Amino acid sequence: MLLRLRRLPARFGALLRADTAGVRAGFVALVVSSLTGLLAGAVLAHDSNTLNRLPGLLLLVPAAVGMRGNVFGALSSRLGTAVHMGTFRLSRRLDTDVGQNLAASVLLSMALALILGVAAKGFAVLFGVRHAMSLPDFVVVSVVGGLIPIVVVMAITVGVSALSARRGWDLDNVAAPVVTAAADSVTLPSLFLATALVSVHWVTPVLASIGAVVCAAALVVGLRAKSLPTLRRIMQESTPVLVVSGLISILAGKVEESGLRSLQRYEILFLLLPPLLSISGSLAGILSARLGSKLHLGMLDPQRRSFSAIFEDLALVYALSIAIFLVLGVVTSLIGIGFDYSRPNVFSVVGVALIAGVLATTLTNVVAYFSAFTTYRFELDPDNFGIPITAAVSDFLGAVSFVLTIALLGLT
């Protein structure tokens, strides 16, 4: 046992040497994710009054933002597996493997936008949110705000996949951070733009009705596409887990709402929250994608759960997490000073980023590990389950870790 422990640093060093370019690309992707997440945080801080003006909106925000990352993160995970297996080919034809994957992602995005809007209204009633938005308001914000980013995020996902295949990067290290960053930076502003349509006389009910019909039709078409077996399988396997992950993300919104007073006291916390949740989800997504690829390639035995077998993957995730959360804390502090956001001292901001980030990543890694092995043992595709489950759980656990860390450091 002692000999094995002594070998672990050497194994980690060998991993870094074997894929230096891939590890570097993964870190750069996380840095990009941090910067775009900070932009999303700036939007959240700037539009914080909208959260007060439209009660219940904060329940929808994490779920709607996270859903884009869930759907297209899972797409990137499947494309990453295709790259590893040598079957990745770009094509405009719908009946190809890549074509069916893209179509499934679009249909899932449309269907889940409707489901999340309805679910957010249901949770607002369940939690007793006073003066919450109406059902048509929730549907319009979710559908209109959620559909705008589809083309952008999908284009980025495919572009990163093609570039990784051409450059020889490990897509599992790169895709999750980039896709999550794209989803955050595009979806959050889109949601707030869509709030301009809330309670607009007859416009809101009409848009809500049209959106409901179109999105429901997308779900039915995807589930009944017998001539496109890959698309149909993705829809059948992904819809239940994406619905569950969306509900968990709505709970994350409730947790964030409980910490709203602290967020409004220190504007810099608004800035920090989106990238922290995004990065912790991305890191767990990297672990999930790597495990999924190894299970597909037969490099892991689904019947044996061994820490030693995945040590390199965990070591990589934690090395990246400590580095990136330190960078995030420092950069957030500098932005707060430069733009004169209300804030605690620098050490508190860096402490929130590092403690909450590593705690959220640790908790979510446990979920990523068990979800990958469990789904594969049941002959399901872990690429369809790993990213959505870990991303949704990371939203909730990240929000809990964030609120707990704020309380721990006395920032309430």
Residue by residue, DSSP assigns 89-140 as ---S-TTSHHHHHHHHHHHHHHHHHHHHHHHHHHHHHHTT-TTPPPHHHHHH
Q: Encoding tokens for residue 365?
A: 């890694």
Contact assessment for residue 247 and residue 349, using Cβ atoms and an 8 Å cutoff: no
pLDDT of amino acid 387: 64
pLDDT of amino acid 111: 94
Q: For the chain, what is the radius of gyration of the CA atoms?
A: 21
The C-alpha atoms of residue 180 and residue 41 are separated, in whole angstroms, by 14
Contact assessment for residue 182 and residue 153, using Cβ atoms and an 8 Å cutoff: yes
The stretches in the chain having pLDDT less than 50 are 1-3, 5
3-state secondary structure 141-176: HHHHHHHCCHHHHHHHHHHHHHHHHHHCCCHHHHHH
C-alpha closest to that of 22 among 390, 281, 320: 320
Amino acid at 142: S
Contact assessment for residue 383 and residue 291, using Cβ atoms and an 8 Å cutoff: no
Distances (CA, A) of 263 to 52, 351, 391: 12, 16, 22
The domain locations on the chain are 7-408
Distances (CA, A) of 230 to 132, 370, 391: 40, 25, 23
Ramachandran area for residue 199 (φ above 0: left; ψ -120 to 50: alpha; else beta): left
User: How many CB atoms within 10 Å of residue 322?
Assistant: 14
- Per the document, the length of the chain is 412
- Side-chain-side CA neighbours of 107 within 13 Å: the count stands at 24
Q: Encoding tokens for residue 32?
A: 């990009």
Q: Encoding tokens for residue 95?
A: 């009946």
The C-alpha atoms of residue 368 and residue 234 are separated, in whole angstroms, by 19
pLDDT of amino acid 172: 63
Q: Encoding tokens for residue 333?
A: 């502090």
| Residue corresponding to tokens 């995730």 | 317
Q: If 0-12 CB within 10 Å is exposed, 13-18 middle and 19+ buried, where does residue 326 land?
A: middle
Q: Encoding tokens for residue 103?
A: 């179509």
The C-alpha atoms of residue 41 and residue 277 are separated, in whole angstroms, by 11
Helix spans in 224-345 (H)? 229-258, 260-265, 267-296, 311-338
The C-alpha atoms of residue 308 and residue 10 are separated, in whole angstroms, by 13
Distances (CA, A) of 225 to 93, 100, 231, 233, 354: 15, 10, 7, 9, 46
Its pTM stands at: 0.72
- Please measure the distance between the N-terminal and C-terminal CA atoms of the chain and give it in whole angstroms: 45
Q: Encoding tokens for residue 210?
A: 């049209």
Q: Encoding tokens for residue 323?
A: 């580095």
Q: pLDDT tens digits, residue range 224-245?
A: 988 889 899 989 988 988 898 8
pLDDT of amino acid 364: 85
| Residue corresponding to tokens 């009944």 | 224
Contact assessment for residue 412 and residue 262, using Cβ atoms and an 8 Å cutoff: yes
